[in-house]
Structure 1
Amino acid sequence: MKTLLRLLLTLSLVAPVLARAQAANSEEEEAGDVSEVDKDRLGPLRERVPPVSGHLFLKKGRFEFSPSATVSLRDAFFTKYLFGGTLTYHPMETLGVSLRVGYAVNSVAGAAQICTFSDGTDGGTRGCSSPSMKELDGKAPGQLKLLGGVDVQWAPIYGKLSLLAEKFVHFDLYGVVGASVVQYRGPELDPTLALTAPAKNYMTPGGNVGVGLRFFFNRWVTLRTEVRDLIYVEKSGNPDKENYLRNQLLFELGVSFFFPSSNPES
């Protein structure tokens, strides 16, 4: 009997302690025992940076008109500034077909030099100076006038860049390959008239390959940059010399406008 009384007394003392411990554990689970994922979901960073998913910008079934300016890189004789535009239709999200045209303004490159040699009576000294446009007109290779072509774009990469952990810039990276028509200025091809006839304009086929990048401002305006290698052949005008195979690097910067001006949510 005494043993039973002691057991009941012990239980009456321990029961309130166990009840308080169980209540504390329940409050801790409700208030503080959350997973790391839940902490991220409920934390202040979640409130400042909303989740970003899907494509902000869709191109399928839309036209892209892009006025642009282009400058030549690493040219020995002429620095070319091309002004023109591109019209692209996107039958698929990753595929586009473009028509391109540009007009070139040429200036003498800073690296160009004309050197004169003596007749040997004074030790063969020589002098070099920067040429004028008149001295190079039609005589040096690389003097572009007009440029047109048809291109195919393939854009397999769509991504997002985080700016200061609060804003995202959407972009896509694409490759481009196409056929070109090049008008350039060169010498008279008739040897009997080469010394007296003025320079002429010639047309020649060519090709180009390059990579480009679009940064999306909103659902219908983008900033576009491209680097291309334009490949074509110029006639030398001298039967004793081979024709010139030209590899001209071009850097292009343009702004694209997409039509229709809106696209559905992805």
Structure 2
Amino acid sequence: MQAHDLAVRAGAQQLLRPAGDHAMRRPTFVLALLAAICLLGASGARAQDIVYGPDGAPTVVQRKLHSMTGRWEAGASFAIALNNALIDQFGGLVSLSYHPNEWLDFGAEALLNRTGISALARNVRADLRPRTAGQTGDEFRNDNQLRLGGFAVARVAPIYGKLNLASELRMHFQAFLLGGAGIAQVHRESINLCADPGTGVCPSFQQSDALAGMGIAGAGLRFYFNQRWSLVSEVRGYLFRSSYKRANDLTQPSSGSPSHYLAAIATFTGGMSFLF
């Protein structure tokens, strides 16, 4: 029995020894594999061209496909007013800008719109009562029509991203904020104040044209097709000083006192740009 026990113990030791050696070698191999992966990842990260934003931090997408630094951009867009129910306004915008780096550009824009009063404004006029002596009223606000203008504009674009539309279709984009200033012609056609003195039905309404200094603020997106062509969309607001008349004698166009306010015309623009 003792000889048998010794034989069993010897066989057990022979069976257990390789398993123990293999168990000790396994963590060593795993650690070596992880270290190799880390080294490869570190070398790959050093090989990438890091793109920095205006805050000095790396942008979201490191491998930027479409570089903007040192390039000019020419654009053409259509524009339509969003926030004025009394006015119909649509037209076009052309621009030329320069990109000194990846997140900034500045340039000039020219705007030309076709404008007129809306169907709602015509319905309001149709409902006006004939004028009688002694009647007074306030002029409607927000009858401003932005017809043409020239502006200096700058854009700051700290965000560069990528949309995975499908497994093989990826679209790179850039989000930006914009601001600027310029001069524009503003046409005003009163909705409810008559241009002719007297009583009765109003045959024509007061109109005026003026040059106004304007500020611009907005935001937009640029979607890249390739190194030269991109789709640009913006929502922007034109801010300027305007006025309307209060306590106007409806039979005397020259009466009333002007009251000033900050007018805002919000527009949506969409179009193409060409980089060169």
TM-score, length-normalised on structure 1? Answer: 0.66
Change (3 A) 1:107 1:215: same
Q: Does 1:171 align with 2:173?
A: yes
Superposition pairs of residues 226-245 of structure 1, within 5 angstroms = 226-234=234-242, 240-243=257-260, 245=262
| AA aligned opposite 1:211 | A
Q: Look up the SS of the partner of 1:11 in the other structure.
A: helix
| Secondary structure, counterpart of 1:92 in structure 2 | coil
Kindly report which structure 2 residues correspond to 1:156-167, keeping only aligned pairs within 5 A, or say none.
156-164=158-166, 167=169
Query: Match for 1:11: what amino acid?
Result: A
How much has 1:83 moved relative to structure 2? 0.8
Equivalent residue for 1:102, pick from 111, 116, 126: 111
Q: Does structure 2 conserve the Cα–Cα contact (< 8 Å) formed by 1:141 and 1:244?
A: no
The number of residue pairs the alignment matches comes to 220
- Distance (whole Å) between structure 1 residues aligned to residue 74 and residue 104 of structure 2: 15
Does 2:269 match 1:252?
Answer: yes
Structure 1 position 61 matched with structure 2 position 70: yes
Measure how far apart 1:250 and its partner are. Answer: 0.8
Distance of aligned partners of 1:16 and 1:245 in 2 relative to their CA distance in 1, 3 Å threshold:
closer
Question: Equivalents in 2 of 1:62, 1:119: separation in Å?
Answer: 61
Q: What is the deviation of 1:162?
A: 2.9
Say if 2:183 and 2:213, in contact at 8 Å, map to a contact too: yes
* Residue-by-residue CA offset, 1:116-138 (whole Å, 9 max, x unaligned): 22679xxxxxxxxxxxxxxxxxx
Distance of aligned partners of 1:82 and 1:244 in 2 relative to their CA distance in 1, 3 Å threshold: farther
- The match for 1:142 among 141, 144, 167 is 144
Amino acid at match of 2:82: L
**Aligned 8 A contact 1:225 1:252 in 2:** yes
> What residue identity is the alignment partner of 1:147?
G
Partner SS for 2:161: strand
Deviation of 1:244 (Å)? 5.7
Report the alpha carbon displacement of residue 108 of structure 1 after superposing the two structures with TM. Answer: 3.4
Q: Which residue of the partner structure matches residue 117 of structure 1?
A: 129
Work out whether 1:211 is the aligned partner of 2:227.
Answer: no
Residue pair 1:73, 1:79 contacting (<8 A) in 2 also: no
Root mean square deviation of aligned Cα: 4.1
Counterpart amino acid of residue 90 in structure 1: H
User: Where does 1:58-97 land on structure 2 (aligned, <5 Å)?
Assistant: 58-97=67-106
Q: CA deviation at 1:176?
A: 1.0
Kindly provide the CA deviation profile for residues 152-204 of structure 1, in whole angstroms up to 9, marking residues without a partner as x.
Answer: 111122222333465432222211111121112246xxxxxx64999564322
Instruction: Note if contact 2:142-2:263 (Cα within 8 Å) is conserved in structure 1.
Output: no
Q: Which runs of 5+ in 1 are unaligned?
A: 39-51, 121-138, 188-193, 260-266
Shift in CA distance, 163/197, structure 1 to aligned 2, threshold 3 Å: closer
Q: Partner of 2:258: helix, strand, or coil?
A: coil
> What is the CA distance between 1:79 and its match in structure 2?
1.7
Q: Distance in 2 between matches of 1:21 and 1:210?
A: 69
Aligned to 2:58: none
Q: 1:61 to 1:20 in 2, by over 3 A?
A: same
Contact 1:62 1:258 in 2 (8 A): yes
Q: In structure 1, the residue corresponding to 2:259 is in which secondary structure?
A: coil
Partner AA of 1:102 in structure 2: L
Are residues 13 and 207 of structure 1, via their aligned partners in 2, closer, same or farther at CA, if it must alter by over 3 Å?
A: closer
Which structure 2 residue ranges, 5 or more long, are not aligned? 38-60, 133-140, 190-194, 197-203, 246-253
